[in-house]
């Protein structure tokens, strides 16, 4: 192509882009599970996208009281940010009413969790399986998957019919199970989003005492169990600094994350999720009282029953915070957060690439993890949607830890899709923590007890 032709092409392209910008860029975002704590920050983030001239924020929740609170709050944020003329907010309990014309679907649904959270924790504890969070793997993760995946599959079927070109952004756990189930049942473009990578990378920059913007790193694995395989600053390996701090049991680094520090010392890299979550993916830390006392601490550092005991309280507190924000008692944040949703939308709308770490299906992305299963890797977003980036092989010991959980996740998805008690029992027999504590016979008994206790919440079982 000649320089003259190139120049004419560039000018024409620039003019077309300008014309497109003048016409305005308007979108429709459907928020499923508007009662979620994600609604306020994610909708605020979207209102902050400079490339957009407006659109519709469609809120959906089957809980009418929480839906109304979310509706009032987002309407108020629209007003505070001066977006009333360009953005509209709608609310409905019927997702099929909201989905037509959607460009993006943000999934934050919770299926019967408030009714089941005690069962998910207390029944396994009778068998010696002690959980901190219990919503992504193990008995709690299995049961949440059995309750959630059938509804999720129906959501995706509706989306295929009503908005087949929409990008689907899933925030609901169990993340690996949700994304795998989507890949097996739907043609929608789906990505699983978690803030573990952002939060942990900031944490590591703090403890390595380097500016976050200058730190370079590589990270891959599965959700809540992705490994920072490289961590450098201006070509200098930061791991020796972190190893030194992790070897001191009294250091702020170790006390803040005892399990993650111990795993780093023995396996060679830091993992993305909190010590409490991580301890549930492993057979080492939660099988004896002395180990729990040595390696776990309060809250997300591994506290027994932390999620089961606090989630119902957090839910009520979230509703109170919304009421306070609506009444003006609480100041409302209007700045943009690091959550991925708005940055994905901006990249997709403008074509300006954005790289995030997301949960996608392993088609040649990580060599030594099972193909066709869900992995967490760098993903580039542009006008085409999600473009996962090849990572290559993980160090073998790290890959093996991931694989041990992926078998459980695969069987749990089969159990949810086929309504199979047998597959559910096999999922827990393959779960590293459950298998470290129980015999196969005990695991089968536990599985049946969990399902029988929640029969009303599990149609088909």
Q: What residues does each domain of the chain span?
A: 116-137+195-304+340-461
pLDDT digits (tens, 9 = 90+) for 292-339: 999 999 999 999 999 999 999 999 999 999 999 999 999 999 999 999
pLDDT digits (tens, 9 = 90+) for 25-44: 899 999 999 999 999 999 99
12, pLDDT greater than 90: no
Q: Are strands 54-60 and 87-92 parallel, antiparallel or unpaired?
A: parallel
Contact in structure between 283 and 436 (CB atoms under 8 Å): yes
Residue 16: what pLDDT?
37
Read off the pLDDT of each residue in 143-154 and give the average, rounded to a whole number. Answer: 98
Pick from 430, 436, 449, 426: nearest CA to 126: 449
Contact residues for 459 (Cβ-Cβ < 8 A; gap 6+): 150
Read off the pLDDT of each residue in 440-454 and give the average, rounded to a whole number. Answer: 98
pLDDT tier for residue 94 given thresholds of 50, 70 and 90: very high
The 3-state secondary structure of the chain, one letter per residue: CCHHHHHHHHHHHHHHHHHHHHHCCEEEEEEECCCCCCHHHHHHHHHCCCCCCEEEEEEECCCHHHHHHHHHHHHHHHHHCCCCCCEEEEEECCHHHHCCCCCEEEECCCCCHHHHHHHHHHHHHHCCCCCCCCCCCHHHHHHHHHHHHHHHHHHHHHHHHHCCCCEEEECCCCHHHHHHHHHHHCCCEEEECCCHHHHHHHHHHHHHCCCHHHEEEEEEEECCEEEEEEEEECCEECHHHHHHHHCCCCCHHHHHCHHHHHHHHHHCCEECCCHHHHHHCCCCCCCCHHHHHHHCCCHHHCCCCHHHHHHHHHHHHHHHHHHHHHHCCCCCCCCCCCCHHHHHHHHHHHCCCEEEEEEEECCCCECCCCCCCEEEEEEEEECCEEEECCCECCCHHHHHHHHHHHHHHHHHHHHHHHCCHHHHHHHHHCCHHHHHHCCHHHHHHHHHHHHHHCHHHCCCC
Max intra-chain CA distance, the chain: 77
Per CATH, the number for 116-137+195-304+340-461 is 3.90.1820.10
Neighbours of 297 (CB within 10 A): 16
pLDDT digits (tens, 9 = 90+) for 358-389: 999 999 999 999 999 999 999 999 999 999 99
CA separation, residue 142 to residues 14, 207, 272 (Å): 52, 34, 21
User: What is the set of active-site residues?
Assistant: 195, 281
Residue 157: what pLDDT?
98
Q: What does the angle CA 273 – CA 277 – CA 278 come to, to the nearest 5 degrees?
A: 70
Residue 24: what pLDDT?
65
Residue 8: what pLDDT?
33
Read off the pLDDT of each residue in 11-17 and give the average, rounded to a whole number. Answer: 37
Distance CA 241, CA 456 (A): 52
**Residue-wise over 73-94: b if at least 16 C-beta within 10 A, else e?**
bbbbbbebeebeeebebebbee
pLDDT tier for residue 81 given thresholds of 50, 70 and 90: very high
Residue 235: phi, psi to the nearest 5?
85, -5
Residue 1: what pLDDT?
35
Distance CA 213, CA 85 (A): 36
Q: What's the chain's length in residues?
A: 461
Q: What is the mean pLDDT of the chain?
A: 94
Tell me the sheet residues that pair with 29: 57, 104
Distance CA 106, CA 432 (A): 31
pTM of the model: 0.94
| Alpha-carbon 288 to chain mean position | 29
255, pLDDT greater than 90: yes
Q: Report the percentage of the chain scoring pLDDT > 90.
A: 95
Distance CA 424, CA 395 (A): 30
Contact in structure between 370 and 362 (CB atoms under 8 Å): yes
Distance CA 262, CA 268 (A): 10
17, pLDDT greater than 70: no
């Amino acid at each position: 192509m000649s320089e003259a032709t190139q120049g004419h092409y560039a000018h024409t392209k620039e003019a077309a882009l300008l014309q497109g910008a003048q016409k305005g860029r308007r979108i429709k975002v459907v928020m499923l599970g508007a009662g979620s704590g994600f609604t306020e920050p994610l909708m605020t983030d979207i209102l902050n996208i400079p490339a957009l001239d407006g659109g519709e924020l469609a809120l959906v929740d089957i809980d009418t009281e929480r839906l109304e609170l979310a509706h009032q709050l987002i309407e108020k944020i629209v007003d505070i940010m001066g977006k009333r003329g360009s953005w509209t907010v709608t609310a409905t309990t019927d997702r099929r009413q909201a989905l037509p014309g959607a460009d993006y679907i943000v999934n934050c649904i919770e299926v019967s969790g408030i009714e089941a959270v005690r069962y998910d924790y207390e029944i396994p504890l009778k068998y010696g399986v002690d959980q901190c969070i219990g919503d992504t793997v193990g008995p709690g993760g299995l049961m949440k998957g059995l309750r959630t995946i059938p509804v999720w599959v129906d959501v995706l079927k509706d989306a295929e019919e009503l908005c087949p070109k929409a990008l689907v952004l899933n925030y609901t756990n169990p993340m690996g199970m949700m994304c795998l189930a989507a890949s097996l049942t739907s043609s929608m473009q789906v990505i699983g989003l978690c803030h573990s990578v952002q939060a942990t990378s900031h944490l590591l920059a703090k403890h390595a005492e380097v500016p976050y913007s200058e730190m370079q790193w590589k990270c891959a694995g599965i959700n809540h169990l992705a490994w920072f395989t490289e961590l450098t600053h201006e070509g200098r390996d930061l791991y020796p600094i972190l190893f030194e701090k992790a070897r001191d049991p009294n250091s702020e680094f170790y006390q803040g994350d005892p399990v993650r520090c111990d795993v780093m010392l023995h396996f060679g890299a830091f993992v993305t999720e909190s010590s409490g979550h991580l301890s549930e993916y492993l057979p080492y830390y939660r099988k004896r009282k002395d180990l729990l006392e040595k390696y776990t601490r309060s809250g997300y550092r591994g506290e027994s029953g932390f999620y089961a005991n606090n989630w119902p309280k957090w839910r009520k507190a979230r509703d109170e915070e919304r009421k306070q924000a609506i009444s003006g008692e609480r100041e409302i944040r209007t700045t943009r957060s690091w959550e991925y949703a708005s940055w994905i939308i901006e990249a997709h709308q403008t074509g300006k690439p954005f790289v995030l770490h997301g949960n996608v299906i392993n088609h040649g992305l990580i060599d030594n993890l099972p193909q066709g299963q869900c992995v967490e890797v760098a993903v580039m977003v542009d006008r085409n949607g999600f473009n996962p980036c090849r990572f290559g092989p993980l160090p073998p010991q790290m890959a093996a830890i991931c694989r041990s959980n992926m078998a459980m996740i695969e069987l749990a998805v089969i159990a949810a899709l086929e309504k199979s008690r047998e597959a559910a029992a096999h999922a827990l027999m393959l779960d590293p923590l459950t298998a470290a504590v129980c015999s196969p016979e005990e695991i089968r008994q536990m599985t049946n007890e969990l399902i029988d206790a929640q029969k009303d919440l599990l149609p088909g079982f």
